[in-house]
Structure 1
Amino acid sequence: MAKSKQTYEEIRQKRMEENKKRMEELNLTKLSQSLLSKPSPVKKGKPRTFRPAAALTPVRRSPRVADMSTVSYKELPVETLERTRRSYSSRRRGFGVYASSEARAYAIDKAEQIQSRLGADFPSFLKPMVQSHVSGCFWLGLPVYFCKSHLPLSDEMMTLEDENGDEFQTKYLARKTGLSGGWRGFSLDHELVDGDALVFHLVSPTRFKVYIARAYDSENNENKEDMEEDNEGKENIDNDKNSDSKHLDGIAKRTRASRK
């Protein structure tokens, strides 16, 4: 064991001497001493610049959207815009109210009078309005017999012309026999309500002349009649009061004469 240990020490010592000779040949010892003698330069600290926080957005790897601006999902306060208040007439205030049977009958009677004056040169039909035609009003069904006899066999754009000459484009659906797109605008613009009656006069294959009979005109007439009846009732009451006062005056005069 001693011999093996001695040989190890001898081998180690020889290697150290060989390494030292190689370092001297390469001048590595001098270089290491020169490096140790030089002081290390003092590093100047750079001022720290504050950078804005990077947006936490996913990296766009697709070249198709790489050049596009990134979408921000940050919640921002929304500026509320002032909405202009629309003025509605008394008819629109009653929108959604079901018409009475008297008002509905009045409008139909008025529409029949309008239809009778149109003549038979061009076909026409009468269409009373119900809530489904004017509330939501995306659809207006037409009489099937009229559609089969006079209207196009395929879908077509129809023109609705009112009594003032204003025109509205609507979509006629042949299979469903009714007006779809554009009917809402016509209904809202003319303030149609439940109980109104319309006369559709087909003046050309794709043009209707539309006449409107208002249901609530009858309320004005009824109000006038009620006012007239109230006035007549007041006049009768006044006449009765005058006759009663005259009768009492006559009785008082007779009693005074009998006392004398």
Structure 2
Amino acid sequence: MVAAKQSYEDSRRKRVEENKKRMEALNLPLLSQALKTSPKPSPTKQAKPRVVQKQLVVVRRSTRFANKPAPIYKEVAVDRVAIPRRILGRQRNLSNLVLASPEAIAEADEKAEKLVSGLPPGYPILTKSMQPSHVAGGFWLGLPVDFCKLNLPSRDDVMTLIDEDGDEYPTIYLARKRGLSGGWKGFAVAHHLVHGDAVVFQLIGRTTFKVYIIRVNGSEEGNNGAD
């Protein structure tokens, strides 16, 4: 039994020696060591950005417009006042608007100054001579910038207009544009305002105007003075 075991160990050592010699003959130990110490593979090369070429092309115009000239925008003269055509078709035809003479306008303004001098002090007052855009067309009433900054709200609000009969008319005050928009048309139409009328606005509250009207034709609205 002992002899058989010894013979097995001798045979195993002999095979190990033979395998070692074969590996050395094939340089396998060196190859294995080289694999362990080989440098890391290089990172993947960064892809080059895609180049897009731009080309100029001729844009074809529609056959409906290709042979037509560019549109020409004209102004229409209404009683010696040039008013853009776009305004004529918006709210009201200004071709029938009667323009007051400079002399009549100056007389209305003078009467408005006299009216203002008789009003109670302590209330901010402004006077507006009615222009075509105030009484027709877009019905927009712009107000003096300084007056708005000192006396009117800094944000859009509802301004109430009280006429000399005590009737109230709410209007929309646009703070950024410094003027009265929605509601002003109703007031102007209800009081038959025309070009050249002098309208006095007395600020009796934060958002309330007392309004007096001096007619350009010589007549005056209401009691023509203070309460």
Look up the match of 2:104.
103
Of Structure 1 and Structure 2, which has the larger fraction of its residues in helix?
Answer: 1
CA separation in 2, counterparts of 1:138 and 1:104? 19
SS at match of 2:113: helix
Mark the CA change 1:95 to 1:124 in structure 2 (over 3 Å): closer, same or farther.
farther
CA separation in 2, counterparts of 1:114 and 1:145? 22
Matches within 5 A, 1:178-189: 178-189=179-190
CA contact (8 A) 1:127 1:198 kept: yes
CA separation in 2, counterparts of 1:160 and 1:209? 6
1:176 aligned partner, one-letter code: K
Look up the match of 1:79.
none
1:151 aligned partner, one-letter code: L
Measured after TM superposition, the shift of residue 137 of structure 1 is 4.4
Look up the match of 1:115.
116
Matches within 5 A, 1:240-259: none
CA contact (8 A) 1:136 1:184 kept: no
Look up the match of 1:155.
156
Matches within 5 A, 1:103-252: 103-217=104-218
Look up the match of 1:246.
none
Gaps of 5+ in 2: 1-94, 220-227
CA separation in 2, counterparts of 1:143 and 1:174? 12
Mark the CA change 1:119 to 1:96 in structure 2 (over 3 Å): closer, same or farther.
same
Mark the CA change 1:137 to 1:187 in structure 2 (over 3 Å): closer, same or farther.
farther
Deviations 1:4-40 (A, max 9, x none): xxxxxxxxxxxxxxxxxxxxxxxxxxxxxxxxxxxxx
2:184 aligned partner, one-letter code: W
CA contact (8 A) 1:134 1:193 kept: yes
Deviations 1:29-86 (A, max 9, x none): xxxxxxxxxxxxxxxxxxxxxxxxxxxxxxxxxxxxxxxxxxxxxxxxxxxxxxxxxx
2:176 aligned partner, one-letter code: R
SS at match of 1:217: coil
Measured after TM superposition, the shift of residue 119 of structure 1 is 3.1
Runs of 4+ in 1 over 3 A off after TM superposition: none
Over the residues paired in the alignment, what is the CA RMSD in angstroms? 1.5
Mark the CA change 1:167 to 1:137 in structure 2 (over 3 Å): closer, same or farther.
farther
Q: Taking every aligned residue pair, what percent have the same amino acid on both sides?
A: 57
CA contact (8 A) 1:137 1:183 kept: no
The TM-score normalised by the length of structure 1 is 0.47
CA separation in 1, counterparts of 2:117 and 2:213? 14
Gaps of 5+ in 1: 1-93, 219-260
Measured after TM superposition, the shift of residue 117 of structure 1 is 0.9
1:114 aligned partner, one-letter code: L
1:190 aligned partner, one-letter code: H
CA separation in 2, counterparts of 1:155 and 1:178? 10
Higher mean alpha-carbon deviation, 130-139 vs 204-213, is at 130-139
CA separation in 2, counterparts of 1:202 and 1:140? 16
Measured after TM superposition, the shift of residue 102 of structure 1 is 1.1
CA separation in 2, counterparts of 1:99 and 1:145? 28
